[in-house]
Amino acid sequence: MFVLFLTISIGTKIEWKDNNLCKINRRVNLKINLQKKRIANFKVLLIHNAWALIYFFLYARIVV
C-alpha cells in the first residue's frame, strides 16, 4: 500500500510540473502547447493507472 501511495504522489508531482511549464510556454504558443499538455497528462495518468493496477493485483495475491 505504501508503494501505491508513492506512485500516486509522484504522478501528481509530475503533473504539477507539467502544468507549470505549460503556463510559462503558453505565452509563446497556445495551441501547440495545449495539445502537448493534453498528451503528456494522458500519458502520465495512463502510466500511473497501470502501475496502480499492477500493485493492486500483487497486493491482492499476497493477501489471498
Q: What is the pTM of this model?
A: 0.30
User: 50 or 18, which is more confident?
Assistant: 50
Mean pLDDT of the chain: 66
Looking at residue 54, its pLDDT comes to: 80
pLDDT in tens, 28-59: 566 666 667 777 777 777 777 778 778 888 88
Cβ-Cβ contacts under 8 Å for 33 (sequence gap 6 or more): 22, 25, 26
Looking at residue 43, its pLDDT comes to: 74
34: left (phi over 0), alpha (psi -120 to 50) or beta: alpha
For residues 15-43, one letter each, b for 16 or more C-beta atoms within 10 angstroms of the residue's C-beta and e for the rest, the string is: beebeeebeeeeeeeeeebeeebeebeee
